[in-house]
């Protein structure tokens, strides 16, 4: 199908883009990688009157790490930039594991992490990764900037917390207080598919104890799920087979999957459980190797 008619704007600055959004009064949409917006428009699930293409705004494609380890991901940083980043491979295992399993190489070349968060697809991989990491989205609107925790950023399926005239400028992963570890596992039916279920685990450890943990679940609920009870159960103790199994059970309980053509609800819970165990067992191994 063809999209409905729309106006196309290509601002050269953030301020200009915000002005256009404001002028659009809720009928304008930002175009980043277009890997979700364009398909939605073609299927006529979305019919914005105006497209505000931010690809010509300079300086938004960054991926940087501060001295303290804080990671900044600009609004035009693509999935493929993250996939190829040696920085993430060295310092942020959860993100490094997620980047290569998103969609396919063609989609990864265009799609952005920030766009993915904004899209708030319950099957989007980055939302659960950012939740697990305790990430933050920085939004800018006519009244300036504000920070929104990734855990609060998603309001529901395909709904985020941005006002109609706000742009998400960047995503931030806060500096770790311990040694960061974790992973992302995604069950897809074939390459390029959305997740049947996915699990993001991010932990920080110090002297063999877990001092921070986050677990995000992809594709097993109406929106991305923050499995806080499962994550909290790990904090303050070393990782053991018992604590891992317990956390896995809690994560499976936190999932709210539906039976569909990707699998039954109980199968999806089983994946969540298995993935939590596999990621955390991998963490144990890598902690032992480091020690």
Partner 1 sequence: MSTVKQDTRLRDILGTSALRPDGVAKVMGSFSFSSDMWAENMLWGATLRSPHPYARIISIDTTAALLISGVSAVITAQDVPGKATYGLISADQPVFASEFVRYMGEPVAAIAADHPETCRRALAAIIVNYEVLAPVVDPELAMLATTEQIHPDGNLIRHQKIICGDPQISGDITVEGHYTIGMQDQAFLGLEAAMAFPDSGGKGVELHIATQWLHEDRGQIAACLKLPEDNVRLVLGGVGGAFGAREDISLQVHCCLLALHTGRPIKMQYSREESFFGHVHRHPAKIWMKHHATKEGKIVKVESRMVFDGGAYTSTSPAVLINGITHTQGPYQCDNAVVDGYAVRTNNPPCGAMRGFGVVQACFAHESQMDKLAQACGLSPVEVRLINAMHTGDKLITGQAMESVAPVERCIRETDAIPMPEPLAANANVLEFPGGSGRTADRQNIVRGIGWGVSMKNLMYSEGFDDYATARCTLSNGIASLKFATSEVGQGFVTLAPQIARSVLGVDDVVFETSDTQIGSAGSTSASRQTWMSGGAVDGACRLVRERLFEHVGELHNIDPIRLMIEHTDVIDTIGTFRISVTEATQGITLSETFEHHHRKTEDLDANGQGNCHVAFAFVAHRAVVDVDIELGLVKVVQIATAQDVGRVLNPLSAIGQIEGGIAQGLGLAVMEEIIMDNGRVKNPSFTDYLLPTALDAPSVVAIMIEEPEPQAPLGAKGIGEPPCISVTPAIVAAIRAATGKALSRVPVRPQDICL
- The footprint of partner 1 (CB under 8 A) covers 1-2, 100-101, 185-191, 193, 260-261, 263-264, 266-267, 270-271, 274-275, 278
CB of 285 to partner 1, least distance (A): 11
167 binds, among ligand FAD, partner 1, none (CB under 5 to 8 A by kind): ligand FAD
In terms of CB distance, is 180 or 198 closer to partner 1? 198
CB of 30 to ligand FAD, least distance (A): 4
111 binds, among ligand FAD, partner 1, none (CB under 5 to 8 A by kind): ligand FAD
In terms of CB distance, is 31 or 151 closer to ligand FAD? 31
What are the b/e assignments for 171-200, b being 16+ CB within 10 Å? bbbeebeeebbbbbbbbbeeeeebbbbbbb
45 binds, among ligand FAD, partner 1, none (CB under 5 to 8 A by kind): none
In terms of CB distance, is 64 or 264 closer to partner 1? 264
99 binds, among partner 1, ligand FAD, none (CB under 5 to 8 A by kind): none
Backbone Cα Rg of the chain: 19
Contacts of 254-258 spanning 24+ positions with Cβ under 8 A: 254/217, 254/225, 254/227, 254/228, 254/229, 254/230, 255/197, 255/217, 255/220, 255/221, 255/225, 255/227, 256/220, 256/221, 256/222, 256/225, 257/197, 257/219, 257/220, 257/221
CB of 19 to partner 1, least distance (A): 35
Give me the residues that bind ligand FAD (CB under 6 A), please. 29-37, 39, 75, 102-103, 107, 110-112, 114-116, 118-119, 121, 124-126, 162, 167-168, 192, 194
CB of 212 to partner 1, least distance (A): 25
CB of 139 to ligand FAD, least distance (A): 8
In terms of CB distance, is 29 or 262 closer to partner 1? 262
Q: What share of the chain is helix, strand, coil (3-state, %, to 5)?
A: 40, 25, 35
- Residue 108 CA to residue 99 CA, distance in Å, equals 8
- Residue 129 CA to residue 120 CA, distance in Å, equals 12
What are 148's strand-pairing partners? Answer: 137
CB of 125 to ligand FAD, least distance (A): 4
What are 172's strand-pairing partners? Answer: 72, 136
């Amino acid at each position: 199908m063809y999209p409905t008619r729309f106006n196309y704007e290509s601002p050269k600055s953030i301020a200009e883009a915000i002005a256009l959004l404001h002028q659009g009064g809720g009928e304008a949409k930002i175009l980043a990688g277009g890997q979700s917006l364009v398909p939605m428009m073609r299927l006529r699930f979305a019919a914005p009157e105006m497209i505000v293409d931010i690809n010509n705004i300079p300086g938004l494609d960054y991926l940087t790490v501060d001295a303290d380890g804080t990671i900044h991901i600009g609004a035009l940083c693509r999935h493929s930039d993250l996939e190829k980043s040696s920085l993430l491979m060295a310092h942020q295992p959860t993100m490094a594991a997620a980047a290569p399993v998103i969609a396919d190489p063609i989609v990864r070349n265009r799609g952005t992490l920030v766009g993915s968060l904004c899209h708030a697809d319950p099957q989007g991989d980055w939302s659960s990764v950012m939740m697990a990491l305790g990430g933050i989205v920085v939004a800018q609107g006519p009244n300036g900037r504000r920070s929104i925790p990734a855990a609060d950023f998603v309001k529901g399926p395909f709904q985020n917390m941005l006002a109609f005239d706000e742009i998400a400028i960047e995503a931030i992963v806060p500096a770790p207080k311990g040694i960061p570890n974790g992973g992302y596992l995604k069950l897809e039916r074939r390459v390029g598919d959305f997740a049947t279920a996915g699990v993001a685990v991010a932990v920080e450890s110090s002297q063999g104890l877990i001092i921070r943990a986050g677990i995000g679940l992809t594709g097993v609920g109406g929106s991305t799920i923050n499995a806080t009870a499962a994550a909290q159960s790990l904090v303050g103790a070393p990782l053991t087979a018992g604590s891992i199994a317990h956390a896995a059970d809690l994560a499976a309980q936190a999932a709210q999957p539906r039976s569909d053509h990707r699998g039954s609800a109980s199968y999806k819970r089983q994946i969540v459980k298995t993935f939590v165990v596999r990621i955390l067992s991998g963490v144990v191994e890598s902690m032992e190797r480091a020690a």
